[in-house]
């Protein structure tokens, strides 16, 4: 199938009966497309609808790696003029990150540890810093740690250098099978762990730790309830996701980029932005 679920664009046409005032407006869209009439959809949980499509991911719904994309108008969110196309394409991962931060229930001055300095981990760190948390990241590769350090967080650590600090929340944004359990080991009793990363194999946590430490664990799937908040944070300048983008390429380079090629002059950020208007 055609992938692509982090995107923005300009509405060029509406379907029969569609609202013509959308034409010409810039927008992003929810990835999750619930059926609209089951119990979950009707209670505001369309992102976990059993029959949902996910744009560019699930149910064969074609994604955004194309010149044009058809989406239901009900999934659209208008983009303010001061959110440019690079930030616009980062609203979807930003909504995920914002929800993870909200799940951690941070107060200003709280100390947060983010496991995994990839795109989601870095966005989590940026959103958490914007609410006044002291943000630290734990990573593995020299390159990802060096890049995270350029963003000015309170601490960037490897497993060998992580100091024994009190962590008011731990957010796992890694693909490790071991880190979810380590998150629970590290977090302060009575506080929260948030799981937004997914391992390729089953990960385990010891629920005795969860009980005996009185910890609340939160799982996050999708940006849906966080999209409007992410747009607002970007528009207000509270969070700027654009430094994460290393380069912009056209559709012709997608295959090479997905297989690991980096264009000449690319920065060290984890994201490559694709602009279908480029040759």
Residue nearest to Zn ion (CB): 49
What is the DSSP code string of 189-234?
EEEEEEE----SS-----HHHHHHTT-EEEE---SGGGHHHHHHHH
Q: Which stretch binds Zn ion (CB under 5 A): 32-40, 110-118, 128-136, 172-180?
A: 32-40
Query: If binding is defined by CB under 5 A, does position 54 make contact with Zn ion?
Result: no
Query: If binding is defined by CB under 5 A, does position 33 make contact with Zn ion?
Result: no
Q: Which stretch binds Zn ion (CB under 5 A): 37-45, 86-94, 95-103, 212-220?
A: 37-45
Distance CA(154)–CA(148), nearest Å, equals: 10
Smallest gap from Cβ 198 to Zn ion, in A, equals: 22
Among 8, 28, 32, 49, binds Zn ion (CB under 5 A): 49
Query: If binding is defined by CB under 5 A, does position 58 make contact with Zn ion?
Result: no
Query: If binding is defined by CB under 5 A, does position 41 make contact with Zn ion?
Result: yes
What is the DSSP code string of 14-68?
--TT--GGGTT-EEEE-SEE--SSSHHHHTT-GGG-TT-EETTTBTT---SSSS-
Residue with tokens 């984890």: 270
Of the pair 27, 41, the CB lying nearest Zn ion is at 41
Interface residues for Zn ion in 77-136 (CB under 5 A)?
A: none
Among 9, 34, 94, 180, binds Zn ion (CB under 5 A): 34
Among 35, 210, 235, 251, binds Zn ion (CB under 5 A): 35
Contact residues for 114 (Cβ-Cβ < 8 A; gap 6+): 121, 124, 125, 128, 135, 136, 137, 138, 170, 171, 173
Q: The tokens of 253 are what?
A: 């380079």
Of the pair 43, 142, the CB lying nearest Zn ion is at 43
* Whether 100 contacts 196, CB under 8 Å: yes
Of the pair 38, 232, the CB lying nearest Zn ion is at 38
Binding-residue total with Zn ion (CB under 5 A): 5
* Whether 174 contacts 119, CB under 8 Å: no
Q: Which stretch binds Zn ion (CB under 5 A): 28-36, 140-148, 179-187, 214-222?
A: 28-36
Q: Which residues bind Zn ion (CB under 5 A)?
A: 34-35, 38, 41, 49
């Amino acid at each position: 199938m055609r992938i692509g679920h982090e995107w923005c664009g300009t509405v060029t046409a509406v379907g029969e009966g569609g609202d013509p005032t959308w034409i010409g407006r810039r927008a992003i869209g929810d990835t999750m497309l619930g059926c609209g009439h089951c119990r979950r959809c009707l209670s505001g949980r369309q992102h976990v609808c059993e029959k949902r499509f996910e744009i560019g991911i699930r149910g064969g719904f074609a994604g955004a790696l194309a010149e044009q994309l058809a989406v239901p108008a009900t999934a659209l969110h208008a983009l303010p003029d001061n959110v440019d196309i690079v930030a616009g394409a980062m609203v979807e991962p930003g909504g995920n990150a914002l929800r993870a931060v909200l799940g951690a229930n941070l107060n200003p001055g709280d100390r947060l540890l983010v496991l995994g300095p990839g795109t989601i981990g870095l966005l989590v760190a940026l959103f958490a810093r914007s609410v006044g948390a002291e943000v630290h990241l734990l990573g593995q590769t020299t390159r990802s740690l060096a890049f995270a350090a350029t963003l000015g967080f309170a601490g960037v650590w490897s497993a060998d250098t992580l100091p024994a600090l009190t962590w008011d929340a731990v957010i796992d944004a890694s693909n490790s099978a071991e880190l979810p359990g380590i998150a629970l080991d590290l977090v302060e009793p009575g506080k929260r762990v948030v799981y937004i990363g997914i391992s390729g194999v089953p990960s385990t946590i010891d629920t005795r730790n969860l009980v005996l430490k009185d910890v609340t664990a939160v799982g996050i799937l999708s940006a849906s309830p966080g999209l409007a908040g992410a747009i607002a944070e970007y528009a207000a300048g509270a969070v700027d996701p654009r430094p994460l983008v290393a380069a912009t390429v056209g559709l012709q380079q997608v295959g090479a980029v997905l297989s690991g090629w980096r264009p000449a002059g690319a920065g060290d950020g984890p994201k490559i932005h694709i602009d279908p208007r480029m040759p």
